[in-house]
């Protein structure tokens, strides 16, 4: 399962915090604000026994009042296999305090950093040789486990063993959400790592706007030791926030349409659907039932914003434009939501399900189609007792997909010497050779254009053509709509999808209410930007 995702139940609703942001924050109070929404225990520990105040859970169908939530880095509490919720955005207090933290952390020794991080995380072995005397030691916090974690450790070990000037200590900081919590705490405490892996579509933009990440443009302009123009344009563009580059792509993915190829063959269907209209026409043909109900159906609808984004964009809609103007209440968004709702509620060719249930339905051959991440292809092939087909996401009036996953960023608080060493390290981690190795080991996309033509990569795709589908789809990558980077926005959107699909509420009414909630977030964000 793609570690970015959340398992959403049909009754999950967004929360609406009413806490306002004061003009300035001490480091201790900043830490309290950053982790206050993580959970009572962490908030108590961080804030000296005081938890952040939150309002009661509100249903999306209730009257939407403008929120006054302070737009500061917020880390939601989710499962280890979770997707991250809405990204964080900067406030004047967060930025000013981050700068103070950066100044303090710059004076913190590398040894102190290692000591602080090792108490909460596990340091991986990253060298087959003794650490060279005089080597500059830097710290890298990674997420992802299994082959995805092992591949990072191997690339770091290869870097350490290839030279004697820099030694990288790799720390597993937990799943994406857990790592973001620890990173938030480390920033506020002045003992942050030098380099960190962050989700591209949620956590990275917020940390960038809060001033905790280093803009990479000056390094990129040198075109050495890496030429960033060699990255796939859509993937590199995702690392840009407010005109500045903050991240190089590493573990990147797009959603795909998986299908039970045996089921299509059984009915004499030669190809999967190319549009959502095709899906609506084809899905009823797969419905099978017995006395107790359906034993097979066409598709599982999960209220997951990331896969719905592709549906929305394919209908010509957006969550917002690039200036944060809300667009979810427009006809295109209504049509996109109805495409899912009609399959569930009108022709009964699809089921409403959480992401975890949808995965199980597909691998057990109950559901014929599944929309899911590129990163899960190997897993579905191993778990399914049928031939797994894979194709690009269906289009409608256009082809457009989000690109998720994570990338490498340098921390603003690190002293300049360690920032330069971190740039050398992430250049090695994202080189052509590294990109090929990471893609082959994990199933994530190669992130560089020269990796796509590498003989090893070409041979790999020839043997495993289904892994190239996502690569071919990168030409249709659509940058994330800015409103989905604001805290709570994704909760509102996903609760809206639940109301439309599971509770059979009119899409036009629900999206109008969700748009009001999103507008409240945008108003708060714009007000804070004025300060």
Q: Taking the domains of the chain in order of start, what are their residue ranges?
A: 92-253+404-476, 255-401
SS3 228: helix
User: Long-range pairs for 116-123 at CB < 8 Å and ≥24 separation?
Assistant: 116/186, 116/189, 116/191, 117/141, 117/171, 117/173, 117/182, 117/186, 117/191, 117/193, 118/171, 120/182, 121/171, 121/172, 121/173, 121/174, 121/182, 122/171, 122/172, 123/169, 123/170, 123/171, 123/172
Q: Which helix (H) or strand (E) is 141 found in, with range?
A: strand 136-142
Q: Which tokens belong to 507? A: 């899409």
Higher-pLDDT residue of 529, 88? 529
User: What's residue 530's pLDDT?
Assistant: 81
| Whole-number Å distance between alpha carbons of 473 and 418 | 37
Most confident of 286-295, 317-326, 371-380: 317-326
Among candidates 408, 411, 410, 409, which has minimal Cα distance to 102?
411
The per-residue pLDDT for 529 is 79
Domains 92-253+404-476 and 255-401 share a fold: yes
**Residue 465's pLDDT is what?**
92
pLDDT of 378 reads 84
pLDDT over 80 (residue 98): no
**Mean residue pLDDT across the chain:** 80
CATH value of 92-253+404-476 in 3.90.1260.10, 2.40.50.140, 3.40.190.10, 3.40.605.10: 3.40.190.10
Q: Give the model confidence (pLDDT) of 106-129 as tens digits.
A: 333 343 344 344 444 566 656 667
Class of domain 255-401 (CATH, top level): alpha beta
Q: What are phi and psi of 75, to 5 degrees?
A: -110, 115
* Residue 75 C-alpha from the chain's centroid: 13
Q: Report the SS3 class of residue 77.
A: coil
Q: Where are the alpha helices (DSSP H) in 327-371?
A: 331-345, 355-363
Range with lowest mean pLDDT among 43-52, 274-283, 341-350? 43-52
CA angle 180, 145, 98 (to 5 degrees): 15
Q: Where are the alpha helices (DSSP H) in 14-130?
A: 27-35, 40-47, 92-106, 110-118
Strands (E), 302-450: 350-352, 367-373, 388-391, 404-410
Residue 31 above 50 pLDDT? no
409-437 average pLDDT score: 97
For the segment 483-499, the average pLDDT, to the nearest whole number, is 93
Question: Distance between CA 206 and CA 197 in Å, rounded?
Answer: 14
Pairing of the two strands 404-410 and 195-199 = antiparallel
For a pLDDT cut of 90, what percent of the chain falls above it? Answer: 64
pLDDT, tens only, 337-347 = 999 999 999 99
Q: What is the pLDDT, as a whole number, of residue 67? A: 34
Q: Which of 70, 74, 69 is nearest to 58 (CA)?
A: 69
pLDDT tens track for 132-159: 999 999 999 999 998 899 999 999 999 9
């Amino acid at each position: 399962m793609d570690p970015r995702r959340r398992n959403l139940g049909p009754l999950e609703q967004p929360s609406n915090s009413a806490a306002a942001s004061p003009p300035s924050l001490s480091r201790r109070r900043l830490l309290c604000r950053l982790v206050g929404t993580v959970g009572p225990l962490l908030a108590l520990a961080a804030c000296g026994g005081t938890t952040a105040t939150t309002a009661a859970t509100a249903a999306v169908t209730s009257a939407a009042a403008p929120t006054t939530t302070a737009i500061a880095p917020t880390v939601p509490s989710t499962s280890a296999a979770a997707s991250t919720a809405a990204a964080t955005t900067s406030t004047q207090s967060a930025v000013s305090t981050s700068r103070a933290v950066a100044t303090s952390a710059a004076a913190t020794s590398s040894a102190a950093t290692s000591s602080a991080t090792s108490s909460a995380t596990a340091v991986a072995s990253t060298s087959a040789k003794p650490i060279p005397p005089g080597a500059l030691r830097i710290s890298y916090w990674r997420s992802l486990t299994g082959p995805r974690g092992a591949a990072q450790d191997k690339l770091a070990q290869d870097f350490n063993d290839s030279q004697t000037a820099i030694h990288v200590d790799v720390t597993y900081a937990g799943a994406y959400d857990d790592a973001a919590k620890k990173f938030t705490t480390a920033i506020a405490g002045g003992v942050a790592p030098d380099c960190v892996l962050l989700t591209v579509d949620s956590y990275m933009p917020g940390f960038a706007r809060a001033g905790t990440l280093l803009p990479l443009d000056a390094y990129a302009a040198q075109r050495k030791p890496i030429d960033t123009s060699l990255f796939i344009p859509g993937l590199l563009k995702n690392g840009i926030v407010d005109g500045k580059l903050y991240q190089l792509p590493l573990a990147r993915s797009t959603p795909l349409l998986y299908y039970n190829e045996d089921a299509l063959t059984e009915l004499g269907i030669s190809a999967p659907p190319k549009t959502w209209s095709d899906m609506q026409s084809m899905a009823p043909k797969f419905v099978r039932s017995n006395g107790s109900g359906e034993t097979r159906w066409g598709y599982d609808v999960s209220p997951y914003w990331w896969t719905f984004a592709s549906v929305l964009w394919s209908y010509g809609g957006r969550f917002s434009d690039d200036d944060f103007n809300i667009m979810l209440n427009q006809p295109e968004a209504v049509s996109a939501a109805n495409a899912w709702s009609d399959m569930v509620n009108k022709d009964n060719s699809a089921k409403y399900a959480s992401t975890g249930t949808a995965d199980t339905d597909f691998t057990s051959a109950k559901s014929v189609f599944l929309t899911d991440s590129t990163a899960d292809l190997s897993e579905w092939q191993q778990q399914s007792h049928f031939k797994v087909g894979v194709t690009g996401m269906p289009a409608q009036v256009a082809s457009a997909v989000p690109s998720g996953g994570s990338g490498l960023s340098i921390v603003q608080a690190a002293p300049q010497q360690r920032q330069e060493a971190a740039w050398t390290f992430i250049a090695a981690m994202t080189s052509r050779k590294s990109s090929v190795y990471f893609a082959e080991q994990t199933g994530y996309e190669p992130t560089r254009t020269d990796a796509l033509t590498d003989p090893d990569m070409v041979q790999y795709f020839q043997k495993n053509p289904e892994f190239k589908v996502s690569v071919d789809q990168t030409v249709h990558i659509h940058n994330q709509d800015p409103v989905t980077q604001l805290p709570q926005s994704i909760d509102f959107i996903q609760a809206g999808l639940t109301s439309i699909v599971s509770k059979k509420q009119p899409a036009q009414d629900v999206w109008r209410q969700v748009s009001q909630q999103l507008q409240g977030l945008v108003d708060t964000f714009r007000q804070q930007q004025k300060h």
